[in-house]
Structure 1
Amino acid sequence: MGISLVTFVVFLSLVQACLGGRRLTALVQQPPLVLSYHRGALLRGTLPINVVWYGQFSGSQRSIVGDFIASLGQHNQEKSPSTSSWWKITEEYLAKAGKPGAATVLLGKQVLDEKYSLGKSLKRTQIGDLAAKAAAPNSITLVLTSKDVAVEGFCMSSCGLHDSAPLAKGLKEKFAYIWVGNSETQCPGQCAWPFHQPLYGPQTPPLVAPNGDVGIDGMIINIASLLAGTVTNPFGNGYYQGPAAAPMEAASACPGMYGKNAYPGYAGELLLDSSTGASYNANGINGRKYLLPALWNPKTSSCSTLV
């Protein structure tokens, strides 16, 4: 279950058709998108996010990601629109499933693997091995690979993924994990848009990254997308539409949407930092600003953005 590049490419390639066919689409009402609940487990309660840093990340880069994760659970402690209010949308899934409650995310333990213990070219199966280093009950493991690490399928089929594995050999209990790669040098046009010109579609100027790091700010978008997918579809039988092997989930159901009036190739109407010129739609702790993807909201059966 990952962030599909096929979806992204098709999304951008539809720009001309959308712009040229607005009168037609206005006459033909599309059925509302509905992510169905498949009666499986959803993640709720207090959810530590344990991070495995694989490769070389600066202290500043780790701080940007750490502040983002911490911001998700800091209700009423940020300026509006806030990162935590974006995350609250995931709790609508719990309510819709008859399991009302909170999914409170917090930053858990961090594991540094700066010496590339498995090398600089990883198979998908090795991501699970790395995730196991920080696995714990009732938590999510986040594996982040640095810009010089090649991962099977990275840039070719996905920008990241989420999956699950047994907590230990022979146990039925599973833990959920996420992998996201830093695409700064490998494929920024695919996995760091809109902070880099897209590989396909109209070549509009890229937006200025809110934290001044195209690779990390792009990772934040993918981490956010996959966290939402993990909580609402952790084991492949939660909320999704389409085939279980390639599901459309909370964020992937709303590709390329970050603000109002978004359309293929245009991220939407966003907030602008007057001092840096950076585009963002969410405030975090410590004065951080982030660009977060739209989420499909089960309460309204529509894609919700913060701005």
Structure 2
Amino acid sequence: MASSTILKLLAIFSLLVVCIASRATPNSLVEDTQTQLLKYHKGALLQGRISVNLIWYGKFTPSQRAIVADFITSLSPSSPPQPQPSVAAWWKITEKYYHLATSKTSSLSLYLNNQILDDSYSIGKSLTQDQLVDLASKGEKTNAINVVLTASDVAVDGFCQNRCGTHGSKSTAVKGKNKKFAYIWVGNSETQCPGYCAWPFHQPIDGPQSPPLIAPNNDVGLDGMVINLSGLLAGTATNPFGNGFYQGPADAPLEAATACPGVYAKGAYPGYAGDLLVDKTSGASYNAHGASARKYVLPAIYDPSKKKKKKKK
């Protein structure tokens, strides 16, 4: 492998796991953890072995479902290991939040569990937030993250206007005890707002214009969904119940992935995703290897263990 290629791999890997957010003020991130960009609000984090259940609402092809299923599988270390930079190495940065939150040995591992298909649009093609939560409730009720994925012809309140997906939690009674499960919703924006929710695989709606990248799995909508899902998973792991790691108002928090907006590789700036790797055969861009020889574009995660030095006066 040429030295320039090795350097590029190292730069991309470093960026994915070490993102000092540009939103930080110039003299922020001083040496104690209380002044970290993302403050810990003392709430519980997900721990142990957690199932990820996919609820597919609307029409998705088997190949489309496989893109997301393989991504979830990629979050766990595999044997043999995935080539670097890998999805598993990207996800490992979330462990640092657990180290900051508790002195006890704790960890989170995710595994793909059930996939529920609702291709008959059982509650219509225009959904509210409450209906999304109802759909998420079809998954497991304990030790679970239930992910609702809506098809490209399904309208959701706020979709494309101010969000591409959401995450939250719901309380439910399980064997007489009150339990909480985490949920995520992500919409397929291919036909509704690809320039907003599927960038950089589509020309942006506004702002600096740059040529769209070729999607690594040749599906603008689904590759865009993976970008949004991955960021929401990072937010769910580090702020599952609204009182974990975040900055700003609790109802509109800055979280682990949203602290690094639009950053996918070294050299990123508004309108430019960064110097991503490019597949020599397909011309597709990517920054992480996954299961089943897949490639993905994933957002940078803010690394809470990295601190900027104080600016000298």
Q: TM-score by structure 1 length?
A: 0.87
CA distance in 1 between counterparts of 2:27 and 2:163 reads: 28
Q: Deviations over 1:218-242 (max 9, x none)?
A: 0000000000000100000000001
Q: What's the secondary structure of 2:68's corresponding residue?
A: helix
1:118 and 2:123 correspond: yes
Task: Tell me which residue corresponds to 2:43.
Answer: 40
Q: Which residue of the other structure, out of 142, 145, 152, is the alignment partner of 2:147?
A: 142
Contact 1:50 1:107 in 2 (8 A): yes
1:59 and 2:62 correspond: yes
Q: Deviations over 1:50-79 (max 9, x none)?
A: 010000000000000000000001346200
Task: Tell me which residue corresponds to 1:91.
Answer: 95
CA distance 1:67–1:163, change in 2 (3 Å): same
User: Aligned partner of 1:259: which letter?
Assistant: A
User: Aligned partner of 2:87: which letter?
Assistant: T
CA distance in 2 between counterparts of 1:61 and 1:75 reads: 22
Root-mean-square deviation (Å) = 1.6
CA distance in 1 between counterparts of 2:173 and 2:60 reads: 29
User: Aligned partner of 2:168: which letter?
Assistant: D
User: Aligned partner of 1:153: which letter?
Assistant: G
Contact 2:208 2:270 in 1 (8 A): no
1:211 and 2:220 correspond: no
CA distance in 2 between counterparts of 1:205 and 1:30 reads: 35
Task: Tell me which residue corresponds to 1:5.
Answer: none
Where do 5+ consecutive residues of structure 2 fail to align? 1-21, 30-35, 309-313
Q: What's the secondary structure of 1:94's corresponding residue?
A: helix
TM superposition shift of 1:31: 2.4
Q: What's the secondary structure of 1:47's corresponding residue?
A: strand
How many residues are paired up?
276
List 4+ stretches of structure 1 deviating above 4 A. Answer: none
Task: Tell me which residue corresponds to 2:298.
Answer: 292
1:252 and 2:258 correspond: yes
Q: Which residue of the other structure, out of 26, 30, 34, is the alignment partner of 1:29?
A: 26
Where do 5+ consecutive residues of structure 1 fail to align? 1-24, 303-307
Identity of aligned residues (%): 58
Contact 2:167 2:183 in 1 (8 A): yes
Q: TM-score by structure 2 length?
A: 0.85
